[in-house]
């Protein structure tokens, strides 16, 4: 991928985590910051319908009950011993009955091949 080029990433593991009182995320972190996405990914179970992979167009779709959610994607670049795993996410916000939300998550790969969050 060339610098400044947008590219969809197929087969990217994606998970939605329920937020709010009583959720694993609320019990695991005091303040939701990107450095904690890996820990949330590893520590918090989520329902099977909230786990997916991006399609060829880079999108993933979930059907969820109303509530507030956090979307996290696991981006793996390279192979051992130089494999980089990066967790990128964002608060989706509150989703109401029958509501659809579209979110854009970006991962930046610099000219040295290092993964950066925007």
**pLDDT tens digit string along 5-62?**
667 778 889 999 999 888 999 887 777 888 899 999 999 988 888 999 988 888 888 8
Tokens of 26: 């609320």
Contacts of 65 (CB under 8 A, 6+ apart): none
Q: Considering the entire predicted model, what is its pTM?
A: 0.83
Give the pLDDT confidence score for residue 1 in this predicted structure. 46
Can you give the three-state secondary structure of 57-90, one letter per residue? CCCCCCCCCCEEEEEEEEEEECCCCCCEEEEEEE
């Amino acid at each position: 991928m060339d610098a400044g080029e947008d590219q969809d990433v197929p087969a990217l593991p994606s998970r939605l985590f329920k937020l709010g009182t009583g959720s694993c995320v609320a019990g695991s972190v005091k303040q939701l910051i990107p450095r904690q996405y890996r820990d949330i990914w590893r520590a918090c179970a989520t329902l099977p319908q909230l786990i997916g992979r991006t399609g060829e167009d880079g999108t993933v779709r979930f059907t969820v009950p109303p509530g507030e959610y956090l979307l996290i994607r696991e981006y793996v670049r390279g192979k051992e011993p130089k494999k980089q795993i990066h967790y990128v996410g964002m608060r989706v916000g509150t989703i109401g009955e029958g509501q659809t939300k579209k979110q854009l998550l970006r991962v930046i790969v610099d000219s040295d091949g290092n993964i950066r969050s925007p």
